[in-house]
Amino acid sequence: MKKRILILNTGGTISSVKTPQGYEPAIGYVQSALAQIPALNHAEMPGYAIKEYQPLLDSSNMTLSDWNRIASDINAEYENFDGFVVFHGTDTMAYTASALSFMLENLRKPVIVTGSQIPLAEVRNDAIDNVISSLWLCAHQPINEVCIYFNQRLLRGNRAQKVSAERFNAFDSPNFPHLAEIGISIELHKELLLAPPNKAFHLQTLTPQFIANFRLFPGFATKVLDYILQQPLRGLVLETYGAGNAQNNDPHFLQLLHDACDRGVVIVNCSQCQQGGVEMSQYATGHTLKLAGLISGHDMTPEAAHCKLLYLFSKNLTNQEVKVQMETNLCGELSS
């Protein structure tokens, strides 16, 4: 029996046509364009239905309510389809894939987020392969997680980052191997895929939370961080150097962090490096952050750490429970 896949078209470059103001997503275009691709009618391809969002969004305009809408649509149609493909702009794709990976608890079906660097409307584009391969993977491979498929790479959604604004290989997962490479042959690394869950699927929607990301740089003004921490923050992703290091010769900076942690702000130490993780006991400059009360982001991307904080606070957990869960591997986002 032919598998059925639901395509959720949220917009992005893949849905765009040229206008006098530049490329803009166009309502109805994707449906008509896909109908003209012969490969989608091949016997090995699944059937598909398209749900198109109105208005279609440039992904720079994505918000928490859009993530809730995507996840809620998957939840509503979960029993009616064998998998889901989300068409999405590239700019915030890694955030959406990370958020969905947490929100769709105990996922037992593939959810593949994809898009393109060149619109489907252009003669030369990367959209057609991304669409065909995403649908094929949903129909034929044992995927039980949220992934990004882009330019012959299948990546774990909460490990992915946008790494290029101008190349077809726009996404990579620097801290985790690719789940598959799709070339002449298909190399799926089944040992890396998440195992099927033994609990029932559950949707956890997100509620607005005051969370910030702050990236350190040499000689930064502590006053900037001071100002941020004076706001009613619940969580902060502090993007530090190397293995989780920061200046340890500024008592005011360390006191700020200490006081914020004492007030109940959950501060996660994430590395600015794309490869490697946070080891706060490796250097004195990292150890002082541990003493101040920061928790380790291990090898999570800043995108995943931000979305995970949002998700955990939305579950109404205590601060201590949030801290424990942040350092626990929930769905492949960090290495145990």
Q: Please report the DSSP string for 58-81 in residue order.
A: -GGG--HHHHHHHHHHHHHTTTT-
Residue 158 backbone dihedrals phi, psi, to 5 degrees: -85, 10
DSSP element (H, E) containing 286: helix 284-292
Residue 222 burial (10 A CB sphere; 0-12, 13-18, 19+):
middle
Asked whether 116 and 109 are in contact (CB, 8 A), the reply is: no
112 in Cβ contact with 78 (< 8 Å) = no
- 146-150 and 4-11: which strand pairing? unpaired
Euclidean distance between CA atoms 133 and 121, whole angstroms: 18
What DSSP element (H or E) covers 230? helix 222-230
Length of the chain in terms of residues written: 336
Give the integer Cα–Cα distance in Å for 121 and 256. Answer: 52
Q: 207 catalytic, yes or no? A: no
Cβ(85)–Cβ(6) below 8 Å: yes
What amino acid positions are annotated as catalytic residues?
13
